[in-house]
Amino acid sequence: MPFASASALRPRDGTLSVPAPTKPALRLATEAHGLQRSRLWEAASSLPALSALLRPLRHAGTENPLPYRSVIGLHLVLVQEDRVLLGLRAGTAWCDGWWHIPAGHLEEGESFLEGMVREAREELGIALAEEDLVLAHTVHDHNPKTRESRLQIFFTATQYAGRPYVAEPDKCAELRWWSLSALPGKLVRYTRQALVCIQRGQSASTVGWPDAC
């Protein structure tokens, strides 16, 4: 019997003491709490804002918290003579009307080389080989408002097959070659920084951090 009777636990002053559960009941309650917590995090995994809000609770009371994870952005810098290929963003709800390097996000289960090859095919309709990719620059991009950060990785390509075109018209309104010395005013901030750094041979930089370059 997991709980003693109330009459047996009533002290002389008339107050009522509630007994603690026995070990089997406590174990069941703990297991049920763990299951609820697991399901909560599975549901929150697709909601970045909720996941960020609950992250401190997830690590509370744990001796070995999970290692930090960051979104990885993949960008392809195609240059012809003194011109770089940029796309005009549209219909994405992020920086629409701004120019940006052809880019996407690393997906689960793929290397960043595989991801860049896939993004080049999906966005530009061109074929790349992993061995033709060259790591040109990395930006550690931080948003002070959301306190989230991303690694923005920029590749160049020694060669590729096909002619770039707008392969995803729902995300890109236009492709255009821009002179590196006359980039558009409405160019995504960290993209502008990366292009400037690549030209001067700098391999890494930061944006949005207190000590940003």
- How far is Cα 208 from Cα 210, in angstroms, rounded to an integer? 7
Task: Give the pLDDT mean for 50-59.
Answer: 57
pLDDT of residue 7: 39
Could you tell me the residue ranges of all domains in the chain? 24-61, 71-207
Task: Give the pLDDT mean for 32-39.
Answer: 56
pLDDT band at 193 (very low <50, low <70, confident <90, very high): very high
Task: Give the pLDDT mean for 50-62.
Answer: 56
Considering the chain, what percentage of its residues have pLDDT values greater than 90? Answer: 58
pLDDT of residue 147: 80
Among 19-23, 171-175, 186-190, name the one with the lowest average pLDDT: 19-23
Considering the chain, what percentage of its residues have pLDDT values greater than 70? Answer: 68
Which residue did the predictor score with more confidence, 188 or 50? 188
Q: Do residues 104 and 122 lie in contact, with contact meaning Cβ atoms separated by under 8 Å?
A: yes
CATH of 71-207, one of 3.40.50.300, 2.60.40.650, 3.90.79.10, 3.40.718.10: 3.90.79.10
- pLDDT digits over 69-89, tens only? 889 999 999 999 999 999 999
